[in-house]
A and B are shown apart, each in its own frame.
Chain A
């Protein structure tokens, strides 16, 4: 008995105390674009841009934002003939997000001809046209030029690389993902090429492998616009004239502290490198929520009224058990708000109308868990069990049902999260979290609270008791 009381007190303290601490720390859930607004970036392309190319650019932007991870549920639309409006909910690192979305980036893989470490300035033999005499860098680079001097801001110090004509481009890349190689404890990017890209890549790396290790010509430059983002050297084990075959390669990034982020950024660039259209950021504006404060308020008032009605219904049907369910709903609500607050702080998770819907539905599901259990107890009491037996055996059977039904909800949440985008993803997170909480509360709260209630006068005797509800 004491253990159950202590357990119950701990659950209540964690739920209510957690919520109070969260509010005290000012970490209330982060609201999404539709509820609170955010930042709108207006991107303008040149007049007369092909609408199809614009549409492709928007698709790439959506994927970039998804890959960015920090931003939930953006809104992107083509406006007029040549404008794209990107709306992002309040983001932590706003500047980085805006840049990531609009970055034009033409991606190419080019052979390295020579390296000039640490030198930024006039170079020997740069009398060639298109080279800036001050910086020694090529201006207005054409990726198919036989020779170009581009900057490589390596992890140690900047260097200038002389590059040959591009041999692969952004659309030769099928996929790129950051991975952690556990055997050598380094971060790397796993690169997958298309069929055609694989052939070109084997040629290119086969050529590079013919130079001795340490020679800059063993390097392959990955160039975005006019910047070398990475210049990995071909591994000593690669056969000259054969190259890296099979269309799959590993680009080792390193084990430094920021290697993980570096690998992720490189993978992003490789995957969505090139937008086919060049954009200019023509405006950055603050935007309000689309739902408006009035709708949100109306929704909250209506929701609370609905919950009050639910509370009354539960009390009328289940009496003292209904009271426990209402208390349990406050535990559920407190924990859910706390989770959303924490995830908003740590993961940039935002709560949108879709998420709130997920929560409303999960209130129905968590209420149902009480109802399934209480109906079992009533059934057991009517079949002649005494109150303690009815409560104990009822839990075992009800828990089985609850677990089965919750598994279906969890499957839905997990698959929607993995496969869907935008608003649907927001809904999946809310539904998934709430369902996990439901299972936790059934075990940690409901079971203890009901078995304790059964031992008090509210268990048997009187209209308001458990037995009263079964009659």
Chain B
């Protein structure tokens, strides 16, 4: 039988729990790279957090947002925010702090594209918009949410599942932060939203997977917890793959088509976080949360007794 049809019929026999050392090693390496990158180069905070420069120029040539942006990108100033004022009569550009030489070149580029006189361009420092406030409030909301979600999952499924879910969530968040740190993409309030999305998705996915474990625990009375988790994972594998495929396709399409082909860097930053996060979310539900859960549950007396009983029975069966 082909791998595809085994997967489709839920008849794969991958040992998710037994091979946990392998999965944990992969995750540990990814996490180490993320943390190291974060520690060494930190994050590139966007101007909503750090402030920058504001340029205002008249626009007699009638350039549009796209033209101004590409003129700036040509001289190496990407990630600028560009706005037309009063139906295109003037243009307002906000960028991060620039070196004097680059600023000179950027002003030249703006003059070229808008047709304004150099003297008509005003430049001033711009403080951060309330990115910090958004971030602070979002973090408070996040902390409350995590508390509530632990309670909910403990009530609906069980406490150790809530903890394993949280561990997987942290794993996904760290990896996303690592990707931002490695690529140097600017972190904006929009990024924050993307991170929240990842968080929601990661938990959602873990809940679906654990729901199956819980269901099998009630049916299978002659199996160890690890065996049950393995069986559940193999049963939901085709759902996990199908779901992550259908979730990643629109995001991936925005990432590749939207930003690399049609040229929209704002979308690129955003889609990257989502893509990495959703992929990590699917991976961690199966390869981090589930083996962790099995490891914790096997330590419980009830399940240790079950494991002993199963192995005794297996031996006597052989005799």
Residues of A within 8 A of B (CB): 37, 40, 55, 58-59, 62, 75-80, 83, 285-295, 297-299, 301-303, 305-307, 309-310, 313-314, 317, 353-354, 357-358, 360-361, 363-365, 367-368, 371-372, 375, 378-379, 382, 397, 400-401, 404-405, 407-409, 411-412, 415-416, 418-424, 427, 431, 470-471
The answer to whether B253 touches A309, judged by C-beta atoms less than 8 angstroms apart, is yes
Say whether, besides A306-B250, A415-B141, A354 and B190 are in contact (CB < 8 Å): yes
Residue B32, interface by CB 8 Å: no
Asked whether, in the complex, the Cβ of B239 is within 8 Å of the Cβ of A375, the reply is: yes
Chain B residues within 8 Å of A, Cβ to Cβ: 5, 8-10, 51, 54, 64-66, 69, 81-88, 92, 124-130, 133-134, 137-138, 140-141, 144-145, 148-149, 152-153, 156-157, 189-190, 192-194, 196-197, 199-201, 203-204, 207-208, 211-212, 215, 235-236, 238-239, 242-243, 245-247, 249-254, 256-259, 262-264, 266-267, 270, 274, 278
Assuming the contacts A286-B85, A371-B242, A411-B145, asked whether A424 and B253 have C-beta atoms less than 8 A apart, the reply is no
Residue of A nearest to B208 (CB): A405
> A375-B238, A407-B152 in contact; A287/B85 too (CB < 8 A)?
yes
Closest residue of chain B to A407, judged by CB? B152
Distance of A297 Cα from B126 Cα, bound (Å): 29
Q: Decide if B242 touches A292 in the complex (CB within 8 Å).
A: no
CB distance from B71 to the nearest CB of A (A): 13
Candidates A299, A409, A470; contact of B200 at CB < 8 Å: A409
A302 touches B134 (CB 8 A): no
Nearest-CB residue, chain A, relative to B210 = A404
With the chains together, A66 CA to B40 CA distance in Å? 38
Q: Can you list 8 A-B pairs, Cβ within 8 angstroms, ordered by A?
A: A287-B92, A289-B65, A291-B264, A294-B263, A407-B156, A408-B200, A418-B141, A420-B138
B128, B189, B193, B211: most-surrounded residue (chain A CB, <10 A): B193
Q: B84 is contacted by which of A287, A412, A471 (Cβ under 8 Å)?
A: A287
Q: Is the CB of A405 within 8 A of B204?
A: yes
The listed residue (A62, A294, A363, A408) touching B204 by CB distance below 8 A is A408
Nearest to A353 among chain B residues (CB) is B190
Q: Is the CB of A424 within 8 A of B65?
A: no
Identify the closest chain B residue to A418 (Cβ): B141
A291-B264, A404-B156, A419-B144 given. 19 additional CB < 8 A pairs? Answer: A76-B130, A78-B126, A286-B86, A289-B83, A292-B64, A292-B66, A295-B267, A301-B257, A301-B262, A306-B253, A310-B250, A368-B208, A375-B238, A411-B148, A416-B141, A418-B141, A419-B141, A420-B141, A421-B130
Q: Are B270 and A424 interface neighbours, CB within 8 A?
A: no
Q: Are B193 and A423 in contact (CB-based, < 8 A)?
A: yes
Q: Tell me whether B251 and A298 are in contact (CB under 8 A).
A: no
In chain A, what residue has the closest Cβ to B124? A80
Instruction: Name which residue of chain B comes closest to A314, CB basis.
Output: B246
